[in-house]
Amino acid sequence: MPDVIKTAPATEDPKTAVAEPVAVKAEKARSLWGDAWVDLRSNWYFLISSVLIVILLVMTAFPGLFTGVSPTFSDLAHHFLGKPELGKVGSAEWLGYDGQGRSVYARVIYGARASVTVGISVTLLVTVFGGLIGMVGGYFGGWIDALLSGFTNIFLGLPFLLGAMVVLQAFTDRTVWSVTLALAFLGWTQIARVMRGAVITIKQADYVQAARALGASTSRILFKHILPNAMAPVIVVATISLGVYISAEATLSYLGLGLADPAISWGGDISAGASQIRVAPHILLYPSIMLSITVLAFIMLGEAVRNALDPKSR
């Protein structure tokens, strides 16, 4: 029998074929902040620092959840008792007592309130004031920018801690708010310079030029178009600086120029424990550990935010 040759079925003429509709799901484009949030959720620096900061904020707002002992209650029968009682975690005896018989654990818990409050308050003040100075100077340019830049450079040339010490001498009652004002008085310069640089770059963008051509007011251009896009580097600097302000408050209290009794501060307790380091090292040790953890947590958060908001690093 002759071989049977099988032929492939004829295909449709491509000219007459009708294309079947293909469902294409358009993916919604993410903004810079959306991309940053996706990156932060997988960053261990962000996760660890966030947990530590949440604990610190709860400790600041509700110290009674962590201890029921007053940090100012004294009992001289407990003078310099410092052996940790691991079986009494969370109790007044856990971390020992200071020279006046006050619970070191209770003072460590309540000391977070002053340090964190000063850090957050200074950060908010310098971000608002420095941000406005930098935004106005960077947008208008000319003699306004020269005047504001010269004003910023004058304050930038003053030593930060030394200037804060001098300012605090004007206050007879050194409270949390007086320390906050002293640190904010000289701490806004870096935010101003960062904001100015960001605004100078962004004001040349096409969408800003288009808004100006359409007759948008100066305030609308500044706060609607420029400010949201210039906040990324400012937030990074402010987050890292928060830990610096907390350590600055502790330094001033350690030197006796910051918070004074009856205010409770880690820096003040470290200063009191430094003179007794041979007899009772625990008075110095535990506030120092808490201060280091707090500053490290905010620096780690700032590093994570910087990496997330920097497109080149991603």
Q: What pLDDT, in 10s, does the model give residues 201-222? A: 998 888 888 988 888 888 889 8
Q: According to the model, what pLDDT value does residue 91 have?
A: 53
Q: Are 98 and 80 in contact (CB under 8 A)?
A: yes
Indicate whether 178 belongs to any domain. Answer: yes
Q: According to the model, what pLDDT value does residue 134 have?
A: 93
Q: Cis omega before residue 71 (within 30°)?
A: no
Q: How many domains in the chain?
A: 1
Q: Are 296 and 234 in contact (CB under 8 A)?
A: no
| Predicted TM-score of the model (pTM) | 0.81
Indicate whether 93 belongs to any domain. Answer: yes
Q: According to the model, what pLDDT value does residue 294 have?
A: 93
Indicate whether 140 belongs to any domain. Answer: yes
Indicate whether 15 belongs to any domain. Answer: no
> Percentage of the chain surpassing pLDDT 90?
31
Indicate whether 27 belongs to any domain. Answer: no
What residues make up the domain containing 129?
A: 33-309
SS (H, E, C) 108-153: HHHHHHHHHHHHHHHHHHHHHHHHHHHHHHHHHCHHHHHHHHHHHH
Q: What is the CATH number of the domain that holds 284?
A: 1.10.3720.10
Indicate whether 40 belongs to any domain. Answer: yes
Indicate whether 20 belongs to any domain. Answer: no
Residues of the chain with pLDDT under 70: 1-33, 76-93, 311-314
Chain segment 32-81, per-residue pLDDT in tens: 667 777 777 888 888 999 999 999 999 999 988 888 888 887 776 666 66
Q: According to the model, what pLDDT value does residue 282 have?
A: 79
| Cβ-count burial 1-39 (b if 16+ within 10 Å, e if not) | eeeeeeeeeeeeeeeeeeeeeeeeeeeeeeeeeeebeeb
Q: According to the model, what pLDDT value does residue 26 have?
A: 46
Indicate whether 1 belongs to any domain. Answer: no
